[in-house]
Structure 1
Amino acid sequence: MRIAVGQVNPTVGDLSGNRDQILSRMMEARRSGADLVVFPELALLGYPPRDLLLRSGFLDTADREFAAVVEASRDIAVILGHVARGGTRAANTADPSSAAFGGADLLYNTAFLLAHGAVVGQQTKHRLPSFDVFEEERYFTPGTDVGVLEWEGLRFGLSVCEDFWYDGGVLAAQTAAGVDLLVNVSASPYFRGKPQLRYALARKWAQQSGTLFIYANLVGGQDELVFDGGSFCVRPDGGFLLSAPRFADGLYVFDTAGEPVAPPDEDGLATVEQALVLGVRDYLDKNGIRGAVVGISGGVDSAVVASLACQALGPNRVVGTFFPSRYTAPESGQEARELAQALGIPLVQIEIEPILDAFKRALSPHLAVAGVTAENLQARVRGVLWMALANALGYVVLACGNKSELATGYTTLYGDTVGALAPIGDLVKEEVYALARWINAQAPHPIIPEGTLSRLPSAELRPNQRDDEDLPPYEVLDPLVRALVVENRPCDELVSLFGASTVREVARRLHSAEYKRHQLPLVLKVSPKAFGMGRRFPITHRFPD
């Protein structure tokens, strides 16, 4: 049997455009001689649709597009993730915030099998993820029935994303009933290390069922999430019949009786780079944004962001800036110019001292412009200039803060935090340096100047300033940030590793900067826990740990 996987890159809410992608891949699958084509979870709607599911007419329109896909299945079978509607439930109609957003309709996240222009059968999703970035319990009702679908003498066990991650449940029941194929349709966003988790689980299910396991995943950027694709088919012996590329949409075909292919590549810095590039590209392109402004300081963070932006958009859609003050080292200007030249982008240079002097004259009758106030004023002047350039060009600003800075509040609100997207906001400082070196190693000639990589990092907001005078050294701070933010470990557990004073100070700064992070640009997620929609701590609280 020849099977195709349509690894599509939908845009949430572009129902007709997403339908056209699916129909185009179906046509391509027919030409390839495929008997069946598999598409990911909620491929017509895009993922996550969030409160669009509660908008009047959204699902009606989606169902009309779904009907077009069903009609097109007359000469090829299709497995596709979509929404099934079934009945109503009690809803709060007294509170206007509930009544206006419906919620009475029962919605099921479902995998459908289509053939001969009709729905052959369906399997609803049982496990509704509501952790980290997921919020499916807000919208969907968990399924209760488990079935095995039959087509052309074959028995199919369909499942939707999260059900694949649990022992027992849908896949175990289908395995016990006997199947010829297990097929999971997913919208599984990337983080570093996640592909290996999927492969291990898939091998387990293939071995337990004694049959092929097919995994079809979305690809593309959606706000702060990046879906990596990487669809695959694994045999009971652990060999792969399909290993689709990561971060690339397309149709990928295999034969169930074919020879094994090379297993997927390891997930490392190259994968992180691909995720960030696709996240930047899709954010701008799907939102119709012309290009990006990057504030280049001569430091490693802005150098990496500018490099990612050029990979994502091309240098003709990226503008760099260099806004020196009296505290800016000559080396910073030289390295900013070298970077812009290597990337082939324009570099807008504006001296900010005259602007700062005007602010100081206006403020001095009322307050002393000194210390942190003077430092933050420099960053905010730069923010105003970046935003003016972006407005004039129809661009957006890409913020250059890293995760270590965002965790500790080592940023200036309305200064270096302005912008639409923070591409490296989920990388701690050591990861930014590693990515910078990787970028240089992959280029025909170094992109990021060696001086940028070797000089001690500094915000250059006061004389001879160094990051390690304001923060713990990054070799200490980075693993501590991971322990607190990603691993959610209690402070008392970390004291023996990092020292009591360091742990308490970083935890204090993490808490006190919460209000800043609520006003940040979207941070592209590449770790198990990023700052953004998946981290929901209150701003106001007094829990000491």
Structure 2
Amino acid sequence: MSKDTDNPNLNPSHEASKTNKPQDTVTFALAQSHFLVGDIATNVEKMRTLALQAREQGADVIVFPELALLGYPPQDLLLRPSLSGRVKSALSTLSDIDDIVMIVGYPHVDHHGTFNSAAILHNGHQKGFYHKQMLPNYGVFDERRYFDKGRNQVLFDYKGITIGLLICEDLWDKNPIAELKKQGADLIVSLNASPFEIEKQNNRKAMLAKRSRENNLPIVYVNAVGGQDDLVFDGGSMAVQADGSVAHEAPRFMNQLLLATLDVKTAKFNNQAKAPLSLSRESEMYQALVVGLRDYVNHSGFSGIIVGLSGGIDSALTLCIAVDALGADKVYAVMMPYEYTSQISLEDAQAQARRLNVSYTVCPIFDAVEGIRHTLAPLFNKSPADTTEENIQARARGVVLMALSNKFGHLVITTGNKSELAVGYSTLYGDMAGGFDVLKDVYKSQVYKLASYRNRLEDTPVIPERVITRPPSAELRPDQKDQDSLPDYDVLDGILMSYIDEDMGYQEIIDKGFDAEMVAKVIKMVDNSEYKRLQSPIGTKISHKAFGRERRYPLVNKWSIKG
């Protein structure tokens, strides 16, 4: 970055004269909105609309999320040769917007490299730009694969205050903000694309409070919102006072243009008239799952979704999330009974479909299963029945669902939960067949809590009570129960959370009070199921460590759990 862009000075006299606001205040518009990855033309038009709306409402400065121009995370789109030209062309289309400062997240490409950047646009000119310094390379982030590290602090003067710029990870490190303070910053603006995970908003607030208090600086924190593949961005944008208190907070999981006015003399924000409702653990989890499914389906171009409804709790919760995400008219439920399907399951599946007013079809699979078994009989040569025959049932259901998807263009969503996926309690090309797994990052014990939470939202429960209370079963053999093959889910999930989410080893988990033999068994099941998970559909991340891009292990390895 050239020296002359490090401290651009913006003359506010023209726009200040066009408003009735006091000269000694600055109003920031926090543009918490969904910017779709790769759709640069639509994203820049959304920026234009929001900037004009913010200006109309009296804003002096509008701040967009991290990489909003291209969307986050853009992954290998950043390697496309045409990227630089497209970005420059898009930014140039904003040059006719006057009387409001725009701080735009975008990828900057020049002879020095590719940077995760923020542009300062004002009255048709780019007054400066900032390159992100701290590039996260953990969890779902791999920014060092794509970006070069920024090395300069950037400040700009506006209406009597000096504003410093940071981007996401920069704020989690204590040094970038401290350096801006040292160079004279009066306020920090931070652009973010911070994905959701359980209780993440509380962690953000704690971090912002610490940084603001340490440096005695107010902070404008703008976060992205909406679903992108397996990630969900939950918004929660904030304006934080220098003492760490939250002056303004945007609702979670919603588009919002949030205005916060700073008194230049006191360096304090006005306080929000009414803060958004805080979300319970189950509420934020449920909303994340709804948004993740909604945006994946809608932006992928599917006209609707198909759910294999079994009468069990996983498919029941999945159906609720699907209806809440897309509306009943876009959800198609199919019950595929076999001889082991109980009458209770048939009744409960039909009751829930009627309660949610979705299209419901019963498609028995007896003939399909018997046809396959007849075809395989000579090859099996009278071998005794085992899980192979059970898996034929699951795969017959997969064939039915995928055929309906092909014929009518609907997306098949699977219903497996994280506990089952962890230990391989699922069938490749059977109940794993589909394009999106709504509960992929939801443990079975959490499924029960979410089902009860959803029922509490209405006077008449949407999930029949006995679906929640009766023992879970795959119903692939007579009187089958999940606990025939697995430990109690509360015990299983305790071991799985320790091993997967917390990265604990064999001995550490035993030290928490779990049975040594059970721990060894569960860990072996997890490790042996890696090849299945690699072939599973994506699903919304809600935990600290989800299967997929965040947890990558070799399929073939000889790592010993007791080494």
Normalization by structure 2: what TM-score?
Answer: 0.91
CA distance in 1, matches of 2:31, 2:72: 16
CA contact (8 A) 2:140 2:549 kept: yes
Give the aligned partner of residue 537 of structure 2.
Answer: 521
Give the aligned partner of residue 22 of structure 1.
Answer: 47
Correspondent of 2:304 among 260, 271, 291? 291
Correspondent of 2:515 among 494, 499, 508? 499
Please list the CA deviations of residues 42-91 of structure 1 after superposition, one character each: whole Å capped at 9, or x if unmatched: 0010001111111121231122112222x144210011111222325xxx
SS of the residue corresponding to residue 355 of structure 2 reads: helix
| Paired residue type of 1:186 | N
Deviation, 1:389, is 1.1
CA contact (8 A) 1:229 1:248 kept: yes
CA contact (8 A) 1:6 1:251 kept: yes
The answer to whether structure 1 residue 116 and structure 2 residue 123 are counterparts is yes
Normalization by structure 1: what TM-score?
Answer: 0.94
Please list the CA deviations of residues 344-385 of structure 1 after superposition, one character each: whole Å capped at 9, or x if unmatched: 012111111111111111000011472100010100000000
Please list the CA deviations of residues 495-536 of structure 1 after superposition, one character each: whole Å capped at 9, or x if unmatched: 232111111111111111000000010021001110111111
Deviation, 1:263, is 5.2
The answer to whether structure 1 residue 220 and structure 2 residue 220 are counterparts is no
CA distance in 2, matches of 1:434, 1:358: 40
Give the aligned partner of residue 532 of structure 1.
Answer: 548
| Paired residue type of 1:24 | T
Which 10-residue stretch deviates more, 174-183 or 212-221?
A: 174-183
Give the aligned partner of residue 235 of structure 1.
Answer: 241
Deviation, 1:180, is 1.9
CA distance in 2, matches of 1:388, 1:84: 45
CA contact (8 A) 2:135 2:143 kept: yes
Give the aligned partner of residue 255 of structure 1.
Answer: 261
SS of the residue corresponding to residue 33 of structure 1 reads: coil
CA distance in 1, matches of 2:239, 2:271: 12
CA contact (8 A) 2:120 2:129 kept: yes
CA distance in 1, matches of 2:215, 2:129: 20
CA contact (8 A) 1:234 1:240 kept: yes
**C-alpha RMSD over aligned residues:** 1.3
Give the aligned partner of residue 93 of structure 1.
Answer: none
Q: Identity of counterpart residues, as a percentage?
A: 38
Please list the CA deviations of residues 13-48 of structure 1 after superposition, one character each: whole Å capped at 9, or x if unmatched: 111011111111001101101111110000010001
CA distance in 2, matches of 1:196, 1:499: 34
The answer to whether structure 1 residue 47 and structure 2 residue 60 are counterparts is no
| Paired residue type of 2:391 | N
Give the aligned partner of residue 61 of structure 1.
Answer: 86
1:63-78 matches, cutoff 5 A: 63-69=88-94, 71-78=95-102
The answer to whether structure 1 residue 177 and structure 2 residue 190 are counterparts is no
Give the aligned partner of residue 365 of structure 1.
Answer: 378
Give the aligned partner of residue 441 of structure 1.
Answer: 456
CA distance in 2, matches of 1:253, 1:319: 41
CA contact (8 A) 2:84 2:109 kept: no
Correspondent of 1:6 among 28, 31, 37? 31
Can you give the 5+ residue segments of structure 2 that lack an aligned partner in the other structure?
1-25, 263-268
CA distance in 2, matches of 1:392, 1:78: 47
Give the aligned partner of residue 345 of structure 1.
Answer: 358
CA contact (8 A) 1:239 1:263 kept: no
The answer to whether structure 1 residue 37 and structure 2 residue 62 are counterparts is yes
The answer to whether structure 1 residue 151 and structure 2 residue 164 are counterparts is no
- How many residues get paired? 526
SS of the residue corresponding to residue 422 of structure 2 reads: helix
CA distance in 2, matches of 1:154, 1:411: 59
Deviation, 1:266, is 4.2
SS of the residue corresponding to residue 111 of structure 2 reads: strand
Give the aligned partner of residue 468 of structure 1.
Answer: 483
Give the aligned partner of residue 7 of structure 2.
Answer: none
CA contact (8 A) 1:240 1:262 kept: no
Give the aligned partner of residue 542 of structure 1.
Answer: 558
SS of the residue corresponding to residue 87 of structure 2 reads: helix
Please list the CA deviations of residues 84-116 of structure 1 after superposition, one character each: whole Å capped at 9, or x if unmatched: 22325xxxxxxxxxxxxxxxxx10111222212
| Paired residue type of 2:201 | P
Deviation, 1:387, is 0.6
CA distance in 1, matches of 2:376, 2:33: 54
CA distance in 2, matches of 1:515, 1:195: 34
Deviation, 1:2, is 1.4
CA distance in 1, matches of 2:345, 2:430: 19
CA contact (8 A) 1:240 1:261 kept: no
Give the aligned partner of residue 95 of structure 1.
Answer: none
